[in-house]
Amino acid sequence: MSELIRRTAVELAEALRTKEVSAVEVTQAHLDRIDAVDGPVQSGVHAFLHVDHEGALARARQIDADRAAGADLGPLAGVPIGVKDVLTTKGLPTTAGSRMLEGWVPPYDATVVRSLHDAGLVVLGKTNMDEFAMGSTTEHSAYGDTRNPWDPTRIPGGSGGGSAAALAAFEAPLTIGSDTGGSIRQPAAVTGTVGVKPTYGAVSRYGLIALASSLDQAGPCARTVLDTALLHAVIAGHDPLDSTSIPADVPDVVGAAKLGASGDLTGVKVGVVKELSGEGYEPGVVARFEEALEEFRAAGAQVVELSLPNIVHALAAYYLILPSEASSNLAKFDGMRYGLRVVPEGEGVTAEAVMRATRAAGFGDEAKRRIVLGTYALSAGYYDAYYGSAQKVRTLVQRDFTAAFGDVDVLVSPTAPTVAYRLGEKLDDPLAMYAGDVATIPANLAGIPGMSLPAGLSEGLPVGLQILAPQQADDRLYRVGAALETRLNDRWGGPLLAKVPTWQGVSA
């Protein structure tokens, strides 16, 4: 297997710039890796739902031609990337992991995807995900499970497990995810990769198939903090096509990552969230988190403990707000306009009968569960008691964060309370599965940015550390994250992913 797949996006970009390698060579190396380890569903990583061999190579050839002609190319031009299947891609299937959209080929690109094309990145294909981003394990994809490259019997996280697994299996150096309650950060934690949920509105949601419109946010995923920052800079920015897009300059996330790479955090105040530790957190996760705090102190940061008292109610509020918004957003999938249509047999079939049959066949169990819950929460007589009350809790959580950031620069916690558990272990216990997002959900309720990066191993499996910053202060994530990454890599003698096991006898 080509050594190119082991290189970071920064290293690949430099090799492309100096013409050490061509974009075609880099793209082909990653396509070969995907072909070697990604399928079939029963035994492969299954990070990708669709691989665009011809389109990717054609794009790579164009980048090489542009470079030879002296064109002014972006810093990531020619670097391959995978895109979560929740973002529309013109000419490529987009299913959101659901039978409801099986075979749908969008006529337009999401703004994020258009930004990738404009920057010269090469889209390899679409990555697997829980149906309509509902799930924490990628077991709720209608097209089969994705497996964790660290242990194929375990989950890769969710809903964006495909994007994270593609990185950890060295199938792509960069991917795009989306984060509604932790779907970028939790998969990053359990696969030993880096994932960032930007400030809500900092990255356009145009073309992002909606789950919960007030919570959804696309974001960058990579294997290093600097790679993630470079991708963040490509996709962020105001978009007039998205009414929630922030009309503000993008913070200098790349400069912040380079500054943090020195390992020095003198003058930075780090807050430890008291409520996001202790009971329910595995001992190995707590141990790695405590080691990371020691690294922050050694880097010159001041570490203090803070209480966010209302954060303990965030999980309950989220699981009323999200299903309510999902119930509304998914109502359009009715078999009448696009996507799946199931027509019952018999005479005198009504529109209502078609809708009923289509939604019964097209939605999986988890989607149906959340639609029913959300419809109930929004029903007459219950709106104020459930959805309205949840929104009040959301305001209290936002106020807690505002107060905390008056005292510290960033907040930190474990990203997830456990390491990756076994596939199927919690399928019959959705409440236990939901509890795995307890540390990531508050950031979505508050609209603040968050990062997960590797903090070490517990029982041979990755542990993630989460960093949170105030709205529109995404650059703080990158400075603090890069400093911790530098210090931990020095301690480990290299990046954590150097320890990922050989996949099915195929080394990276």
Q: Give me the active site residues, please.
A: 84, 159, 183
Helix (H) or strand (E) holding 365: helix 365-378
By the 10 Å C-beta count (0-12 exposed, 13-18 middle, 19+ buried), 139 is classed as: buried
What residues pair up with 381 in beta bridges, in sequence order? Answer: none
3-state secondary structure 37-102: HCCCCCCCCCCEEEECHHHHHHHHHHHHHHHHCCCCCCCCCCCEEEEECCECCCCCCCCCCCHHHC
Structure tokens at 410: 């960033």
Secondary structure of residue 249 in the 3-state scheme: coil
The contacts of residue 220 (CB under 8 Å, 6+ apart) are: 174, 176, 177, 195, 196, 198, 228, 229, 231, 232, 235
HSE-CB at 281 with a 13 A cutoff on CA atoms is 23
DSSP annotation of 181? S
Alpha-carbon span 205 to 356, nearest angstrom: 29
> Residue holding tokens 């943090």?
260
Compute the 3-state secondary structure of the chain and give helix, strand, coil in percent, each to the nearest 5. Answer: 40, 15, 45
Cα-based torsion angle of the residue sequence 63, 103, 149, 498 in order, rounded to the nearest 10 degrees: 10
Alpha-carbon span 132 to 141, nearest angstrom: 9
3-state secondary structure 90-147: CCCCCCCCCHHHCCCCCCCCCHHHHHHHHCCCEEEEEECCCHHHCCCCCCCCCCCCCC
Helix (H) or strand (E) holding 13: helix 9-17
What is the number of helices (H) and of strands (E) in the chain? 16, 11
DSSP annotation of 219? E
Alpha-carbon span 122 to 81, nearest angstrom: 6
Closest CA to 220 of 329, 347, 310, 121: 121
Give φ, ψ of 455 to 5 degrees.
-120, 0
* Pairing between β-strand 302-306 and β-strand 269-273 as defined by DSSP bridges: parallel
